[in-house]
């Protein structure tokens, strides 16, 4: 039998407590199955594995020892029953507490957060204009310089010593109190002098060394260094220079244009035009994103809503997961990130809270405007969009939909985009 009761917190009308009791035959069957599962692993002197009688087991371990396993077994069914009986639609994963546990049944209390009431007082006529995009000659020259640097060739320096800007190919090993420390060794490492890749003083002391030369560098780790055992420590790095390379500037010649591999680019003029178009496209994209952010921020000032903490927490966790994936792409785990930045998960979550709150607020706000304007996307429109996107990503449509979250997510995404387009037109 399902029992539902509203939470005592009358200020949060979207927080509900639903109590579900599993009893009778369903509970007896769950206890029986729990015993069969326990019977396979429990050891009792005088009985082979899997052959312990029920009465012997209960006398030895007590009936109560089966109740927790039985409760775990019926939890999913209780959750389904809570959703069906209450007819509530949760906006975050409901939390569950074990209310009571006995031989005659188990009671679960589900706390269900539903969508809060949202009131958008004004979302039209806010007079927000997009910014005008321009590309200057200085920006084109700056990007051209980056391209020339990117395609710079490295040539071996036959004579002379390491200078600022050179690439020194070195072997090195670090010692603290005469003992080599973890992570302080490298062979044939390409170190760009002036990049500040290593701790202060390292690159400066390599300057002037010649090929084949070995040298001890006396250095001190920064006080705020991530590894506590090395923070502020005096160390010695034994360094040997194996090779010196220097950058050779490229010319805007046929070889350079061929290396670029840009279609239609075969001269300085056509390259600058390509750079201009690229900068303009990026600026237009950034301007569009800033314009949308400005509209959403302005409209949100006219919104009345009491956002549950649980919705913000869930969004924080989603952002944290996205950040973790980004770090993995750079070969850095979260544990390593926390070590380098001398922070912990709580600190990172605190940093993400503002963005998470804004994301939830904007989503609720847009959904309400969507309802007010009766914006809808048909299944056919969503299916066409799915086909187009799958082709863009070079995937089968079914595979794309599985990763995106199904056709309903495509519909929702299109409805959100239509709502944003409406806001853009309504606020110029």
- Burial (Cβ within 10 Å: 0-12, 13-18, ≥19) of residue 26: middle
Which residues 6+ apart lie within 8 Å of 132 measured at CB? none
Mean pLDDT of 150-178: 91
Mean pLDDT of 178-205: 93
pLDDT at 248: 84
Q: Choose the weakest-confidence range: 46-55, 163-172, 344-353, 368-377.
A: 46-55
Residue 7 confidence class, pLDDT cut points 50, 70, 90: very low
| Mean pLDDT, the chain, integer | 91
Paired tokens of 136: 């200057």
The answer to whether residue 421 scores a pLDDT higher than 50 is yes
Could you tell me what percent of the chain has a pLDDT over 70? 97
d(CA 287, CA 295): 12
Residue 378 confidence class, pLDDT cut points 50, 70, 90: very high
> Sheet holding 95-102: strands in order across?
2-6, 15-23, 105-113, 95-102
pLDDT at 8: 35
pLDDT at 12: 65
pLDDT at 275: 95
Report helix, strand or coil for 46: coil
The answer to whether residue 324 scores a pLDDT higher than 70 is yes
φ/ψ (deg, to 5) at 320: -65, -40
Higher-scoring residue by pLDDT: 139, 10: 139
Which residues 6+ apart lie within 8 Å of 6 measured at CB? 16, 17
Task: Look up tokens 């314009």; give the residue.
Answer: 291
Each residue's pLDDT tens digit, 18-37: 999 999 999 999 999 999 99
Q: Residue 133 has what DSSP assignment?
A: P
d(CA 119, CA 368): 8
Distances (CA, A) of 30 to 24, 105, 122, 215: 10, 10, 55, 73
Mean pLDDT of 11-17: 78
Closest to 157 in 3D by CA, of 197, 209, 204, 196: 209
Q: Choose the weakest-confidence range: 44-53, 302-311, 375-384, 396-405.
A: 44-53
pLDDT at 11: 43
pLDDT at 6: 37
pLDDT at 2: 40
Report helix, strand or coil for 186: strand
Instruction: Give the H or E element holding residue 393.
Output: none
Distances (CA, A) of 378 to 87, 181, 296, 408: 25, 63, 25, 10
Each residue's pLDDT tens digit, 201-251: 999 999 999 999 999 999 999 998 878 889 999 999 999 999 999 988 888
Closest to 238 in 3D by CA, of 170, 289, 311, 292: 170
The answer to whether residue 10 scores a pLDDT higher than 50 is no
**What is the secondary structure of 163-178 as a DSSP string?**
-TT-EEEEEEEEEETT
Distances (CA, A) of 84 to 66, 70, 202, 328: 28, 22, 66, 40
Each residue's pLDDT tens digit, 81-135: 999 999 999 999 999 999 999 999 999 999 999 999 999 999 999 999 999 999 9
pLDDT at 428: 82
């Amino acid at each position: 039998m399902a029992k539902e009761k509203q939470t005592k917190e009358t200020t949060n009308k979207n927080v509900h407590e639903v109590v579900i009791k599993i009893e009778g035959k369903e509970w007896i069957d769950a206890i029986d199955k729990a015993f069969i599962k326990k019977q396979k692993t429990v050891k009792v002197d005088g009985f082979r594995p899997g052959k312990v009688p029920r009465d012997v087991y209960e006398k030895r371990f007590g009936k109560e020892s089966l109740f927790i396993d039985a409760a775990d077994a019926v939890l999913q069914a209780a959750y389904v029953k809570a959703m069906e009986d209450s007819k509530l639609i949760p906006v975050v994963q409901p939390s569950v507490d074990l209310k009571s546990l006995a031989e005659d049944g188990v009671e679960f209390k589900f706390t269900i957060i539903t969508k809060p009431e949202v009131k958008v007082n004004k979302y039209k006529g806010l007079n927000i204009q997009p910014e005008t995009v321009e590309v200057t000659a200085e920006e084109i020259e700056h990007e051209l310089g980056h391209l020339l640097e990117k395609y710079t060739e490295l040539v071996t320096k036959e004579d002379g010593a390491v200078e600022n800007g050179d690439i020194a190919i070195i072997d090195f090993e670090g010692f603290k109190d005469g003992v080599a420390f973890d992570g302080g060794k490298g062979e044939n490492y390409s170190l760009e002098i002036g990049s500040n890749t290593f701790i202060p003083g390292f690159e400066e002391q390599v300057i002037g060394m010649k090929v084949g030369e070995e040298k001890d560098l006396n250095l001190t780790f920064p006080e705020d260094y991530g590894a506590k055992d090395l923070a502020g420590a005096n160390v010695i790095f034994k360094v040997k220079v194996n090779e010196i390379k220097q950058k050779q500037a490229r010319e805007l010649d046929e070889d350079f244009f061929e290396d670029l591999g840009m279609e239609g680019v075969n001269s300085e003029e056509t390259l600058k035009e390509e750079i201009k178009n690229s900068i303009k496209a990026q600026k237009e994209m950034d301007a569009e994103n800033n314009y949308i952010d400005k509209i959403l921020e302005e409209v949100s000032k006219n919104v009345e809503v009491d956002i549950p903490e649980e919705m913000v927490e869930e969004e924080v966790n989603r952002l944290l997961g996205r950040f973790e994936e980004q770090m993995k792409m750079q070969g850095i785990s979260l544990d390593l990130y926390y070590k380098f930045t001398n922070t912990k998960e709580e600190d990172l979550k605190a940093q993400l809270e503002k963005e998470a709150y804004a994301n939830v607020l904007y989503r609720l706000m847009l959904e309400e405007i969507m309802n007010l304007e009766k914006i809808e996307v048909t299944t056919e429109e969503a299916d066409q969009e799915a086909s187009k996107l799958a082709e863009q990503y070079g995937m089968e449509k079914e595979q794309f939909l599985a990763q995106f979250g199904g056709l309903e997510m495509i519909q929702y995404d299109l409805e959100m985009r239509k709502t944003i387009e409406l806001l853009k037109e309504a606020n110029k």
